[in-house]
Amino acid sequence: MIAKPVSALAALSLFALALAADANGQGSSVAPAGSNPIIRDRFTADPAPLVVGGRLYLYVGHDEARGNEMFTMREWLVYSTADMRRWTYHGPIMNVADFKWAKKDAWASQAIRKHGRYWFYAAVEHDDTHPGKAIGVAVSDRPTGPFLDAKGSALITNQMTPKGTHSWEDIDPTVFTDADGVSWIAWGNRQCYLARLKPNMIELDGPIAEITPPYFEEGPWLHKRGKLYYLTYASLDRSRDRDEKVSYATAPSIRGPWTYRGELTGSARSSFTIHPGIARFKGRWYLFLHNAALSIGGQGGALGRRAVTVEYLRYNRDGMMKPVVQTEAGVSVPPPR
């Protein structure tokens, strides 16, 4: 087939389309809105969605690694959308320095709404009084912050989970409120832990239980659909794989017993980490992840320069999640039937 010559006007409009950029840089390439990665103006990681009314807020860590640095993360950002395609940037919601007892590393986070306020749980590096990673809790009256340290000290420190021999065992909080109004927090690296939160949201209410599912690496995410509880997480079969995948377990109650259900995704493009976040929004379920497939201003994707993505999440009749294939089209196209 012989290609038709493109008119000068058509060529100009294509060029304009390629250059047109909105506030998020979403239009900076010809990729249709909703295609992956969904955030293109900054490197972002560890997506944590929160639905409030007609908007979905997406909390992310800001990846600022230069060259071969591992993770350089100082602040958390929030974006929001009403249609899963066009994203509004609301700016940083908190800096790691706002937790006075922390010294660095604005790692993975999640926010939830309770008692009309927004509670933000995040992993950071504690100062030398409690060496290792720790989890802090901050609060705001708005989903877009600013968030203030709600406790003035860490909610969880490395010393509270003595099983792990590594300093980054206490990372990646996920928070979930059950139908009875009780909120729970799960977290961990290599070991996965679960504890009840007091109604004040800034103290644990009872013992820490270990619920580590097979191949658990990090990034747990709790959610519920119907009567079934889901624990979705970044998994690593060290005997076989180099990079994380996403796996999940289900249970009839938040306290378990948890049954391993296998892998949900493959590894993320060019990234060791993957980090799931799940939400139901306007009648559809979504799985947020990150990869390292984005380049910005000559800086390529890397371990510490990641980019958040989203895919449709679908379930079988028995409640099991259908395997998710990571795509470039993302949610720019209708979900598969």
Using CB under 6 A, which residues numbered 276 to 335 contact ligand FUB? none
For 181, the 3-state DSSP assignment is coil
User: 135 and 154 in contact (C-beta within 8 Å)?
Assistant: yes
Please count the residues of this chain forming the interface with ligand FUB, following the rule CB under 6 A. Answer: 13
Using CB under 6 A, which residues numbered 110 to 149 contact ligand FUB? 123
User: 100 and 152 in contact (C-beta within 8 Å)?
Assistant: yes
Q: Does 275 bind ligand FUB (CB under 6 A)?
A: yes
CA distance 112 to 137: 11
CA distance 267 to 112: 28
Structure tokens of 111? 């926010």
What is the number of other CB atoms lying within 10 angstroms of the CB of residue 33? Answer: 18
Q: Exposed, middle or buried, 174 (CB in 10 Å: 0-12/13-18/19+)?
A: buried
Question: In terms of CB distance, is 45 or 155 closer to ligand FUB?
Answer: 45
In the list 46, 98, 170, 311, the residue contacting ligand FUB (rule: CB under 6 A) is: 46
In the list 77, 78, 108, 246, the residue contacting ligand FUB (rule: CB under 6 A) is: 108
Q: Does 172 bind ligand FUB (CB under 6 A)?
A: yes
Using CB under 6 A, which residues numbered 228 to 267 contact ligand FUB? none
Give Cβ neighbours of residue 134 (< 8 Å, ≥ 6 apart): 101, 102, 123, 124, 125, 126, 154, 155, 156, 157, 158, 170
Give Cβ neighbours of residue 61 (< 8 Å, ≥ 6 apart): 44, 45, 46, 73, 76, 77, 106, 107, 108, 109
CA distance 199 to 182: 7
Smallest gap, in angstroms, from Cβ of residue 233 to ligand FUB? 9
**What single-letter amino acid sits at 307?**
A
Question: In terms of CB distance, is 169 or 218 closer to ligand FUB?
Answer: 218
Smallest gap, in angstroms, from Cβ of residue 271 to ligand FUB? 8
DSSP 8-state symbol, 70: S
CA distance 314 to 320: 9
Question: In terms of CB distance, is 123 or 222 closer to ligand FUB?
Answer: 123
Question: In terms of CB distance, is 31 or 137 closer to ligand FUB?
Answer: 137
Q: Does 171 bind ligand FUB (CB under 6 A)?
A: yes
Question: In terms of CB distance, is 33 or 79 closer to ligand FUB?
Answer: 79
Question: In terms of CB distance, is 31 or 288 closer to ligand FUB?
Answer: 288
Smallest gap, in angstroms, from Cβ of residue 95 to ligand FUB? 15
Smallest gap, in angstroms, from Cβ of residue 105 to ligand FUB? 8
Question: In terms of CB distance, is 31 or 249 closer to ligand FUB?
Answer: 249
Smallest gap, in angstroms, from Cβ of residue 122 to ligand FUB? 9
In the list 61, 188, 277, 330, the residue contacting ligand FUB (rule: CB under 6 A) is: 61
In the list 79, 87, 107, 215, the residue contacting ligand FUB (rule: CB under 6 A) is: 107
The backbone torsions φ and ψ at residue 12, rounded to the nearest 5 degrees and listed phi first, read: -65, -45
Structure tokens of 55? 């908007």
Q: How far, rounded to the nearest angstrom, does the alpha carbon of residue 318 sit from its chain's CA centroid?
A: 26
In the list 218, 245, 307, 324, the residue contacting ligand FUB (rule: CB under 6 A) is: 218
Query: Rule CB under 6 A: which residues touch ligand FUB?
Result: 45-46, 61, 71, 107-108, 123, 171-172, 218-219, 273, 275
